[in-house]
Structure 1
Amino acid sequence: MAGHFILMFPEAVGLPDMMLGQRTADLPLLVLFVIGGIPILAQLVIKLLRREMGADFLAAIAFVTGVVLAEYLAVSLIILMLTGGQVLEGFAMRKASSALNALAKRMPSVAHRKSPDGEITDIAIDEIDIGDLIAVFPHETAPADGIVVDGHGSMDESYLTGEPYVVGKAPGTNVLSGAINGEAVLIIRAERRARDSRYAQIMDVMAEAEQKRPRIRRLGDQIGAWFAPAALLFAILVGYLSDDSSRFLAVLVVATPCPLLIAIPITVMSAISIAARRGIVIRDPTVLERLPTCQTAIFDKTGTLTYGRPELVEVVAGPDMDDDLVLRLAASLERYSKHPLASAVLNAARDRKLPLDEVNHASEKPGQGLSGQVDGHEVAVTHRNKLMKSDPEIAALLPDTAAGLECVVLVDGKYGATFRFHDTPRAEGESFVGHLGDIHHFKKVMLLSGDRESEVSYLSELLGISESLASQSPEQKVAIVREETAKAPTLFMGDGINDAPALAVATVGIAFGKESAVTADAAGAVIPEASLVTVDELLHISMAMRRILLQSVIGGMVLSIVAMGFAAAGYISPVAGALLQEGIDIIAILNALRLAIAHDIDADIVED
């Protein structure tokens, strides 16, 4: 065996003398070997330890063989091919900070605790205890979940709900950790420790999602996984049968799948360029490879398939009640609600030019609705199901249910009115959902929302979505998306921070809108100016990219296979093989550039 090795690689015997400088003519090439080759050798060792055989494995084997055979010009060309591909790949894969970093940056490290005598001292947020009074100064972030005990103001909670609404705060209203305070100082009573707050729970879910993010192999690695060992076995067979080490090296050089190493990154960068011109930010270039393989589309509702702007469409007043009075009282109270419907009530009151009254107290507990004292009246905003259990006599006065959302307003314990709302679906929503199966080969479309069953069902029926799930928490969304991803590749679209964990575990996550940097960090692609037409363009860009990418890769590899035959017959030397492979690269690169230079991307749907 050792004798046969010497016959195949006689130059190896003289390698130490050469490395000492006796081949001075090769000194510049040796410098290139030291600078560019040693890192490549290190990467090869790591790959071998991981038992990985990717697209660059053959090139690395050819590199080592060229060094042993003192074919330094061929080695130099191989180094240039490998490093050039890595530079392009690194450029294409460059990303911004992680979602977890973005989440962590939102939270303060210090809280302002108010003592019984009124003195305020700074403490670490980990020292917050249940029942502590915490001062939240203007423009600060709430450090823990709590209830306002003093002060009137507003907070931005869009990071959690995905809704771009500012929520009014008065004594009795809830505060969520991570919410950004407005202009007034608010004193809150901590209801949870910082580590147990809702914001910390979302961070935990996000961290778990990041750890369990499915590892999906790149297309180049998938093809290289079978081509590399087959070509290596062929080269070994040629070298063994011919007893010619140069043929072994020549076969390896021309077999090096450079279209995988260079054409793929260039094609991906071309697609990223097209996407940028269409207003699409590609954060993870691998989404462009994965998107055409997705078979299940899962959508959040509010702000994704709808405009995220609920409208009050009807006020059904109770007996002896004036609808303007009920609307005025409800709108005055809704200033201090975090529910998305609050803004719809306020907008309706403004449209009717109704003055808003002072609120003496407000309270909003989960599942209990909104209540408070407004202009001497006890006002409560609740829902039908609660009334049927707590006060069936009032529930009997309610009108029949209708599609969409509704709430019931009580004034001084009497039935005031029923408010009916609709969150307007996007104009292009029905055509977009309808064409996913025929054009883009999706086999399943799901609607996944934290909203109530009535509104989710209404939208599902309107858009033709057969499967929908309502009242889903971030944890439940993650579980459902992970379950669906285990069955088939998934596309998930959402716009709020509560969608970030689900975006992270899906095969492809697309963030809608520009309200949350955290959502954007968790997604592979971001569409700032929310439009389903733009999503359709992204689908077509990914399809075109994959088609051209396969043309470049398969075409280049066919040419490489033909060249391998000539190299095996002794018609191509290692240096000539490296130059020939560069020619194949050029053909593959020119084809890859077609995507950026002259490829039109047209959506199937039109935004009304």
Structure 2
Amino acid sequence: METSRSDRVKTAVLLLAAAGLIAGLALYFTNQPIAAGILWTAGVLPALATLVIEILRSLGRGEVGLDIVAALSMTAALVFGETLAAAVVAVMYAGGSFLESFAEGRARREMHALLSRVPRSATRHRNGRLEDIPLDEIAPGDRLLIRQGDMIPVDGLVASDTAFLDSSALTGESLPVRLGRDDEAMSGTTNAGEAFDLTATREARDSTYAGIVRLVEEAQASKAPMSRLADRWSLGFLAVTLVIACSAWWITGDPIRAVAVLVVATPCPLILAVPVALVAGLSRAAHFGVLIKGAGPLETMARIRTLILDKTGTLTDGRPRIVSIVGRDDNDPDQLLRLAAALDQASKHPVAQAVVSAAQERGLTLPVPTDVAEFPGEGVAGTLEGQYVIVGGSRFVAERVGQQIREDPALDDGAVLVAVAVDGRMAGHLVMSDPLREDAGAMLHRLRALGLTRILVATGDRARVAERVTDGLNLDGLRSDLSPDQKVLLVLTERKRGPVMMVGDGMNDAPALAAADVGVAMGARGAAASAEAADVVLLVDHIDRLGIGIEIAGKARRIALESVIAGIGLSVLGMIAAAFGYLTPVQGALLQEVIDVAVILNALRALRIAPEGGRVSSDIRTAEA
């Protein structure tokens, strides 16, 4: 609400300043200079008032920004009757503030579509009926119904015979887990199987999900504010301006020369060129599926030297895939996959859907099963082309055919077996795992080329799984078995070396994303909590967009710096000319306009940034639509 009100104020100030300038010029050219001066003054006062308020707030925080130079130039111009010059300065300043606000507001609006997973209510059993209640009304001992696809709202114990939960967003484990009666289920996990009952053991505010939200809030509160590029130049520019203006007044005794210096010195290259270049960079990054939430994160992104990556959903797809097919008695692997996938069409289980997708990718024709019986969390049985087929966990299938299956060594490294039996005999099994993304190695190599000097992986997975997945990658460190608060601690430790970027997609990554100098969320399939806490969201499921975003940020910042250096240099030359009496305040304002046009045109080059290897694919264009 407060941010929205600030945006409306900036828009109104710009409209008033522009209207005052234009209407005043109309009156001036119809020989009504007094009325024109009144309108120019009326357009300046709102901008000056908001400027003074912002200056007082900045000084209260111990900050000195560009606002002081702009306020001095407007005030001096009004005091000495140079109302046209004051009006021009007011429009330029209000325009710069509006551009920054516009960029940040667009990022906020695009985030609304990513916040759909946060639970706000629960379904409770009460007197033989079901009722929907707000989360804060859940009490320990309440029996809740958790439907398929629901996120568990509070910590509790499974009150049904079995539950099948996807905890990837919470713990980083990519494969769903099976829980039995009285096993503990954490809030934030998702029901990947049939509906089950849960007995609440904690209130919502004390549950795992709420604890992670508190960690996010604490991390955001302790995070140092991002320093704007423009403000880092402001103190030196302010000192140079005051020295030239005061010297011109003291030596000549003419205050108008000081006014002219101040008008020429209005830091429009900083006020306008920097936000224009950065907004253009934001727009260009969004074109490639990288949503950066404002100019501050983009600037910081360009200076990152340390990167911390989550594993699941970031370096890996976060979805189970078939890594091998082992057939018994010379069974053809493709035929084994075809039978398993055909039967799994009748199941919504994530592993079953992965098997179906693998078969479809190979172009296999899948017959329709009949007499299907599904055992939630265990497997599926049914008839296919006159054969009785069973697909599921190795123990489940072995019990039904009276045969044992040899456990694959890959299981110790985080893989699972999907066994297949045909007409009462074991036919073989599929080995499923969450493999490394194909482009992960190339992505890390490119990030090194872009200037990152330290790359680490931080994951909640077991050490053996993490080591297997990241084997062969050029990493500077691997941290496994990490809880959300341990990830935050790692980020804070690495920040002592310099700016840190954290990349993740799960709810368990959200606190670390908030604590990092730049947090990056995989927004296409990631948790809403991570997207909300992050400074940057990759809108498509392509990790290579990270390198593209960093490259665009670096080039946009460089273009902004070029504009600033050129503009400030020209402004200093103009101030010297004004100090020697070669420019009146109005001429100084017009000269500053010429400088503004030049630096803005240069800043707009950021719209044409072409990252190496960057190409907008069809899925990115779909995301933008």
Q: TM-score range by the shorter chain?
A: 0.7 to 0.9
1:456 aligns with one of 440, 461, 466: 466
d(CA) in 1 for partners of 2:326, 2:282: 51
d(CA) in 1 for partners of 2:562, 2:217: 38
* CA shift for structure 1 position 537: 1.7
* CA shift for structure 1 position 502: 1.3
Cα displacement string for residues 484-523 of structure 1 (whole angstroms, at most 9, x for unaligned residues): 1232111211111221221112111221241233322222
Which residue does the alignment assign to 2:579? 568
Alignment pair present for 1:150 and 2:156: no
d(CA) in 1 for partners of 2:135, 2:433: 40
Which residue does the alignment assign to 2:524? 514
Aligned 8 A contact 2:394 2:418 in 1: no
Change (3 A) 1:168 1:469: closer
1:263 aligns with one of 252, 256, 273: 273
d(CA) in 2 for partners of 1:336, 1:147: 23
- The within-5 A match list for 1:567-606 is 567-596=578-607, 598-603=608-613
Alignment pair present for 1:252 and 2:262: yes
1:493 aligns with one of 486, 489, 503: 503
1:219 aligns with one of 229, 232, 249: 229
Of 89-98 and 441-450, deviating more is 89-98
Change (3 A) 1:35 1:311: closer
1:430 aligns with one of 411, 425, 441: 441
* CA shift for structure 1 position 286: 2.1
Unaligned runs of 5+ in 2: 1-32, 328-335, 379-392, 420-427, 618-625
Give the secondary-structure state (helix, strand or coil) at the position aligned to 1:274.
helix
* CA shift for structure 1 position 110: 5.7
- The within-5 A match list for 1:474-485 is 474-485=484-495
d(CA) in 2 for partners of 1:119, 1:477: 42
d(CA) in 1 for partners of 2:351, 2:223: 34
Counterpart of 1:251 in structure 2: which amino acid? V
* CA shift for structure 1 position 269: 1.9
Which residue does the alignment assign to 1:112? 124
Counterpart of 1:55 in structure 2: which amino acid? L
Alignment pair present for 1:405 and 2:417: no
Which residue does the alignment assign to 1:532? 543
Unaligned runs of 5+ in 1: 1-21, 318-323, 363-370, 380-396, 411-416
d(CA) in 1 for partners of 2:168, 2:470: 24
Aligned 8 A contact 2:194 2:376 in 1: no
Which residue does the alignment assign to 1:96? 108
Aligned 8 A contact 1:136 1:181 in 2: yes
* CA shift for structure 1 position 127: 4.7
- The within-5 A match list for 1:440-455 is 440-455=450-465
What's the C-alpha RMSD, in Å, of the aligned pairs?
A: 4.4
Give the secondary-structure state (helix, strand or coil) at the position aligned to 1:509.
strand
Counterpart of 1:43 in structure 2: which amino acid? E
d(CA) in 2 for partners of 1:346, 1:171: 30
Change (3 A) 1:507 1:564: same
d(CA) in 1 for partners of 2:441, 2:352: 27
d(CA) in 2 for partners of 1:108, 1:599: 42
Q: Which TM-score applies when normalising by structure 1?
A: 0.76
Counterpart of 1:511 in structure 2: which amino acid? A
Change (3 A) 1:195 1:356: farther
- The within-5 A match list for 1:359-370 is 359=375
Change (3 A) 1:98 1:606: closer
Aligned 8 A contact 2:169 2:189 in 1: yes
Cα displacement string for residues 386-408 of structure 1 (whole angstroms, at most 9, x for unaligned residues): xxxxxxxxxxx988789943569
Give the secondary-structure state (helix, strand or coil) at the position aligned to 1:189.
strand
Give the secondary-structure state (helix, strand or coil) at the position aligned to 2:319.
strand
- The within-5 A match list for 1:101-140 is 106-109=118-121, 112-114=124-126, 118=128, 125-136=135-146
Change (3 A) 1:407 1:375: closer
Change (3 A) 1:142 1:495: closer
Q: Which TM-score applies when normalising by structure 2?
A: 0.74
Q: State percent identity of aligned pairs.
A: 32
2:64 aligns with one of 53, 58, 61: 53
d(CA) in 2 for partners of 1:315, 1:599: 45
Counterpart of 1:236 in structure 2: which amino acid? C
Aligned 8 A contact 1:206 1:500 in 2: yes
1:194 aligns with one of 187, 204, 208: 204
Change (3 A) 1:349 1:475: farther
* CA shift for structure 1 position 97: 6.9
Alignment pair present for 1:303 and 2:303: no
Counterpart of 1:83 in structure 2: which amino acid? A
* CA shift for structure 1 position 525: 2.0
* CA shift for structure 1 position 301: 0.9
Which residue does the alignment assign to 1:19? none
Aligned 8 A contact 1:279 1:529 in 2: yes
Change (3 A) 1:105 1:140: closer
Which residue does the alignment assign to 2:23? none
d(CA) in 1 for partners of 2:614, 2:348: 43
Give the secondary-structure state (helix, strand or coil) at the position aligned to 1:424.
coil
